[in-house]
Amino acid sequence: MTHRITASGISFDFIPRGGVLDRLTVTDQGHEIAPLHRAPWAESEVPADAPPHQRWLAGDFLAAPMGASDQGLHGLPANGDWQVVPSAPGTLRAILSGAVQGATVIKELSVADDHPFVYQRHLFVGGAGALPVANHAMVSVPNGAKLSFSRKRWWETLAEPLETTQGRSCLAYPRRSEDAAEFPGADGGMVNLHRYPWGERHEDFVAGIEDPASRLGWTAVVRPEEGDLYLSLRNPGLLPMTMLWHSNGGRDQAPWNGRHTGCLGVEEGAALPMLGLSSRETPDPLTAAGQPGLVTLNPEGTVEVRHIIGAIAWPEGQSVAGVMLEGDTLTITGDWGAERTVPLRGGWLGITEARAQPAKKPNLNWDL
């Protein structure tokens, strides 16, 4: 059963199977914006041995653990069932059926009138150990896009390409680069990570590591032909990684069959194993800089992961030069002077507190 959550100017669907935030729609300046991607296949086309979430691949979901697991790629939250429980208007609350490393996982998705954003948080209650975690939003970019990011220390690919026998990649693996505009390519040249796509018919994955001095972590995806802008916001002190998945016709096996194109994963998290070089180093460069490479569960408490996604009209098509949060106002600036201000729950990410001191133990107050 699909659940629809609405507020003035924004709506989304929630699919309990896989915990999917689907069909996000924002109405802004007279434009109806639907930024999220949906795979083109029917469930019957997915091989029986594929991870369950491939059957309904769409929108945004929680990956915990991010990557391989004994509960399917991206773990039980992406492949299992969520039980929706009563909640306040404008809020969706659901509990995962089954545990993640002993933790009960609770999902909350909320919207507010005239805010072009969905406020997400996932709570891990109890459990033990540490695991890689990320939100797994997929943006629809059939006509290309311009990408901008809060300041990164470096960019890094996986230990090996996503496809080694049944697909094609544009990036070199494993590699690191401090310059997103000149990342090593598979052909020996350079690739500009600020553009989608990087090439014809390719499947690639690369992660950017936040500058520890960043106050607000952000990713902006401008869709010039659509005249809009997708935004992803996070607390960089807790989620220091922005992972980009380019799925653009680079996989030949079923159900992909070379037809999964125009998909850009913008996956924000703490997922050290996704770094092909840094994950092998001791100490790893995230830990050395005081940045979390994993989410550590608390057997006697609760750990939470917060993330904001949304979209606004951006008819100028300019690349984003900056995103600034002051109080409850977010200002987005283009590289040629375009500017928008939109309302945002300014304290919701806890970014001021995160800079001044270690993250506090989250409380169990349900008020968003």
Q: In percent, how much of the chain has pLDDT > 70?
A: 95
Q: How many angstroms separate the Cα of 82 from the Cα of each of 73, 78, 156, 171, 325?
A: 17, 10, 33, 36, 33
Q: What angle do CA 79, 33, 41 make, to 5 degrees?
A: 40
Average pLDDT over residues 238-250: 97
pLDDT band at 352 (very low <50, low <70, confident <90, very high): low
Q: Is the pLDDT of residue 319 over 90?
A: yes
pLDDT for position 39: 98
Backbone angles phi, psi at 48, to 5 degrees: -65, -30
Q: How confident is the model at residue 13 (pLDDT cuts 50, 70, 90)?
A: very high
The residue written with tokens 């996982």 in the block is 105
Nearest to 236 by CA among 254, 263, 220, 218: 218
Q: What is the pTM of this model?
A: 0.94
For residue 143, count other CB atoms closer than 10 A to its CB.
11
For residues 59-87, average pLDDT: 95
Average of pLDDT values for 340-349? 96
pLDDT at 367 over 60: no
pLDDT-based confidence at 366, cuts 50/70/90? very low
Average pLDDT, the chain: 94
Is it the case that residue 30 has pLDDT exceeding 50? Answer: yes
Domain boundaries, the chain: 27-63+128-291+309-356
Q: Please report the pLDDT score of residue 32 as a whole number.
A: 97
Q: pLDDT (tens digit, 9 = 90+) per residue, 99-147?
A: 999 999 999 999 999 999 999 999 999 999 999 999 999 999 999 999 9
pLDDT digits (tens, 9 = 90+) for 167-210: 999 999 999 999 999 999 999 999 999 999 998 999 999 999 99
Instruction: List the structure tokens of 176.
Output: 């690191």
Cα distances from 105 to residues 78, 93, 172, in angstroms, run 12, 11, 36
Instruction: Report the pLDDT value the prediction gives residue 170, as an integer from 0 to 100.
Output: 97
Residue 361 has pLDDT above 80, yes or no: no
